[in-house]
Amino acid sequence: MDIRLQGDQIGVQVSGVDLRAIDDAQFARIYQAWLDHNVLVVTGQTLTIDDFLVYSRRFGIVTPHPSKSTRHPDYPDITLLGVNKFNADGKLNEAIYRRGAEGWHTDGAYDPVPFKATQLYGIAIPDTGGDTLFASGYAAYEAMPDRLKTRLDEALGAFTYGGRRQSTALLNPEDRARPPAMHRIVRTHAETRRKSLYFDPGKILFIEGAEQQESDDLIEELTTYMIQPLGQYRHKWSVGDVVIWDNRCSYHKAAGDYPPDQDRIHWRVSIQEFPAERQMAAE
């Protein structure tokens, strides 16, 4: 098993391993590399859906995504990315084609139990384009001025799926009006105990306790600290890649730039923290 750092701070790649056959000691090395570098790539896998779920469940509790229309028909825990990209009239479905490409974000902040991780498995990859970009929430926090760190130290943000723009195209109508979830903006990671900026400009509605104007100004200011040059990694996909990112301390976005007539298909799972980690996060 070969473990290699990809970016300056985040992004680590593991090769020479069959994820169907790893033992606990090998998994512990993989898991630590992921905690240390936010985004973990394992190359060259040939997995069935069941294999992918078994491996994913080593990281936490796999949970169905609220977008019901993009769930796998037989496996609700699996979301299909890039499937049914064209409508019946032949027009490109932008919500599916550009999913994840509208801006830097963290997955699941709208949930009272937000996603610990998201994991993708590459099934079909276009010849050009279609990368996924990542950035470190630790680097964002470290770049913030002390004034902002102090102001937000205990602040809660209110998050919904569609945020201030109410972009809810992938949700069924009955799932569009859920109440906001409240989360600490300065987040101490349950496992690494490092502080990160837990933030998503597309999902945040307001910062609790701030006047509307101050809240909007803070959101705008935080957006400028999110993406730090040294805290980035860009993944160029190959079929058989398994990529997991830590939503507690990372942002990501899809490049959304591949030829629409080519397939770009992934299996995707959303993973919540184990109860013991949730307990640590609360302490």
Ligand X SMILES: O=C(O)CCC(=O)C(=O)O
| Residue of 201, 164, 205 lying closest to 182 (CA atoms) | 205
| 42 lines the binding site for ligand X (CB under 6 A) | no
CB of 117 to ligand X, least distance (A): 11
Sole binder of ligand X in the list 268, 271, 272, 273 (CB under 6 A): 268
DSSP for the chain reads -EEEE-SSSS-EEEES--TTS--HHHHHHHHHHHHHHSEEEE-S----HHHHHHHHTTTSEEE--S-GGGB-SS-TTPEEESSS-B-TTS-B-HHHHTTT-SS-B-TTTTSSS--SEEEEEEEE--SS---EEEEEHHHHHHHS-HHHHHHHTT-EEEE-SSGGGT--TTS-GGGTTPPPEEEESEEE-TTT--EEE---TTTEEEETTS-HHHHHHHHHHHHHHS--GGGEEEEPP-TT-EEEEETTSEEEEE---S-TTS--EEEEEEEEPPHHHHHHHH-
231 binds, among ligand X, Fe ion, none (CB under 5 to 8 A by kind): none
Mask: binding to Fe ion, 97-136, rule CB under 5 A, as x and -?
Answer: ---x------x-----------------------------
| Angle (nearest 5°) at CA 162 between 261 and 256 | 25
Using CB atoms within 10 A of its CB, is residue 20 exposed (0-12), middle (13-18) or buried (19+)?
middle
Question: Closest distance between Fe ion and the C-beta of residue 252, in Å?
Answer: 6
Shorter beta-carbon distance to ligand X: residue 38 or 132: 132
Tell me how many residues contact Fe ion (CB under 5 A).
2
Q: Which positions from 58 through 87 interact with ligand X, judged by CB under 6 A?
A: 81
Nearer to ligand X, 132 or 228 (CB): 132
The residue within the footprint of ligand X, chosen from 100, 180, 202, 231 (CB under 6 A), is 100
Query: Quick one: 187 or 252, whose CB is closer to ligand X?
Result: 252
Closest distance to ligand X from the beta carbon of 97 (Å): 10
Which of 254, 269, 271, 273 binds ligand X (CB under 6 A)? It is 254
Using CA atoms, how far apart are residues 66 and 170, in angstroms rounded to an integer?
9
253 contacts 138 by C-beta, under 8 angstroms: no
Q: Which is nearer to ligand X, 154 or 234 (CB)?
A: 234
Segment lying near ligand X (by CB under 6 A), choices 10-18, 99-107, 176-184, 223-231:
99-107
- Give the one entry of ligand X, Fe ion, none that residue 132 binds, where binding means its C-beta sits below a cut-off of 5 to 8 angstroms depending on kind: ligand X
Q: Select 107 or 111, whichever has its Cβ closest to ligand X.
A: 107
Shortest CB 214 distance to Fe ion, Å: 28
Q: Which of 118, 168 has the CB closer to ligand X? A: 118
Residue closer to ligand X by CB (options 22, 42) is: 42
Residue numbers 108-167 binding ligand X by CB under 6 A:
118, 132
Give the residues lining the site for Fe ion (CB under 5 A).
Answer: 100, 107
Give the residues lining the site for ligand X (CB under 6 A).
Answer: 81, 99-100, 107, 118, 132, 252, 254, 268
